[in-house]
Structure 1
Amino acid sequence: MNTKLNDALAVLKKEGLKLTTKRKDILAYLFEENRYVSAKEVYDSLSATYTGMSYDTVYRNLHDFEQLSLIEVTELDGEKKFRFHCSYGDHHGHHHHFICTECGATREISLCPMDFFKEQLPGCVIEDHRFEILGKCEICAKR
């Protein structure tokens, strides 16, 4: 199992959440997909393995993972999408994303536009920001 995934599982345990196979498999799915996916995609992928698992169980776990900063969340077309935190356990530094609106694939963008905005907002204290570029990746653009 990947070190990033093991580190994420260790956080679950440290925070008092049971290391159930469902939780492990949800995180593993997000890690392997390496793109933004909907809760329904996670549910559909795992429901054959866990026949009694409810959609609410998936969503609740995704919420818990978000609270622990194990996953990233964005909104595309009015729906929450989730992905394994791309810099979890690494020191990629501050970065942003290009997100494909068709397939959810992401690419890191190292340039941050906040320096420009800080100049535009003298005296303001910026507490947080999020910058995403949305469009179609080269594969989806060719379709």
Structure 2
Amino acid sequence: MNEEVLFYYALFAGGIVCIVLSVLLYFWLREDNGIEFSLFFRLVLLCLFGVGLIWYTAPSLKYVVYHDYATTKGVCTVEYDDQSKPRTIDLYYDKTGDYFSFLDRAELGAYGPDVPYTCHVTTTKDHAFEISYRLYDFKTNRLLYSSE
């Protein structure tokens, strides 16, 4: 399993944990005469944060669990920002305008908009989460890097 799939599962599990934790803390910390408003407000925010994480990840759950992925192929440019944290690699498809970002670094000879590559990006069917990518030489179609 690669980093992107683990990140997806971490988001989904984080949402479940936030919801369960907020409900348990509410019943554990409340007294017979009530709960302070500030604590109640924080627990509601924690619960809403968990609901937001699940709302964001749930539509793609069946695609990730059943490995039902789509592959986008075409000419792209690769950009790598050495200063960003975490270090990411960005793939831009010029003709379609698609953009994909991965928590990885491909060791390529050159980056930037002047150097085209042939890219195969695997995503969930709804294109919400990136799974993996492969970079090929534009002229020879030789595999240069694979994140799989």
Select the structure that is richer in strand.
2
TM-score (norm. length: structure 2): 0.26
Larger Rg: 2
